[in-house]
Amino acid sequence: MLHSLSLTTLSSSSPAKTPTPNSLSPSPTPKPLYLKFRTSYRDNLRYLRALRILNPATKNNKKPPSPDDVNHVLATVDFLKSKGFTDPDFARLAFLCPLLFSSTFEPTDVAPVFDFLSADLSASPEQSRGLILRCPRILFSDVEFCLRPTLNYLKQLGVEDLSSPTNLNAHLLNTRTDRLRTKIGFLRSIGFSHEEATRACVRLPAIFGYSIDNNLWPKYIYLVDEMERSVEELIGFPQYFGFSLEKRIAPRHLHLKERNVHLPLNRMLLWGDQKFFAKWK
């Protein structure tokens, strides 16, 4: 098979650094040397191990993939590189979504997702790469039944800058509209109007990813029962839901209660620990 390998120059005195699965912005690496020749099966295996698509630690204990499967994975690598992905990206992709490098994966199946990110979302190639790195499974979402309806719904609510490659945006785009609507429904069930619920979600889009049973409901109950506060305060400061109940909300409430101090929710929660506890000793 004729294939291009990118081989980094190695020093005999120090081992080369390899990318970690959680690295999105890897440190600079030595300038690669590009060699084009008829590669052997063993060379291709070595290349995939260098990319961390194959685990180097198992090379002596696990049966390697067949030559046909290796060539299939190399075709996927070439396809992703044509979309702007670089060698350090593959360790993260393989760690978070190994299905991308299986023998059943066909690059042509995910081409519509790249088209969606470019045409519908108006994301640049670098932004598309960033979104996919943060949520590789977005590549397996159906454009017509998931991605496009979700994008249109978020735009209707007024959520902006969805092309920015953040963890929140990547996972929001990969969330079906019925799940998004349940959060609007929850807010309405505790006393928000539809407009107030919409504004709250626009101010705190992360709320779409919070569990109702394990996050939103316990915080609401603590607000009205333990803190004896009204829903009106929550409407004015929906960011309350973004703070940890155990680490922020409850400790600060109890600290103020012991001192007979009552603060608006924003002052109670937004201040850093040093400023807060220095003020209310």
Per-residue model confidence as pLDDT tens digits over 188-232: 999 999 999 999 999 999 999 999 999 999 999 999 999 999 999
In-domain check, residue 83: yes
> In which domain, by residue range, is 43 found?
34-105
Query: Do 190 and 98 share a domain, yes or no?
Result: no
State the pLDDT confidence band at 27, using cuts at 50, 70 and 90: very low
In-domain check, residue 114: no
**Mean pLDDT confidence for 76-84:** 96
User: Residues 221-277: pLDDT tens digits?
Assistant: 999 999 999 999 999 999 999 999 999 999 999 999 999 999 999 999 999 888 888
In-domain check, residue 199: yes
Is pLDDT above 90 for 26? no
Query: How many domains does the chain contain in total?
Result: 2
pLDDT of residue 185: 96
> For the domain that residue 186 is a member of, what is the CATH number?
1.25.70.10
Q: How far apart are CA 259 and CA 5, in angstroms?
A: 67
In-domain check, residue 80: yes
- Only one residue has tokens 């960033």, namely 130
Angle between helices 148-157 and 177-189 (to 10 degrees): 30
Residue 5 forms beta bridges with which residues? 35
**Mean pLDDT confidence for 166-172:** 95
- Only one residue has tokens 């600079």, namely 28
In-domain check, residue 186: yes
Of all residues in the chain, what percent carry a pLDDT higher than 70?
A: 85
State the pLDDT confidence band at 57, using cuts at 50, 70 and 90: confident
The mean predicted confidence, pLDDT, of the chain is: 87
Q: What one-character DSSP code corresponds to residue 83?
A: T
State the pLDDT confidence band at 181, using cuts at 50, 70 and 90: very high
pLDDT of residue 29: 52
Query: Do 185 and 269 share a domain, yes or no?
Result: yes
State the pLDDT confidence band at 34, using cuts at 50, 70 and 90: very low
Is residue 204 a contact partner of residue 171, using CB atoms and an 8 Å limit?
A: no
Question: How many Å separate Cα 127 from the centre of its chain?
Answer: 13
pLDDT of residue 203: 93
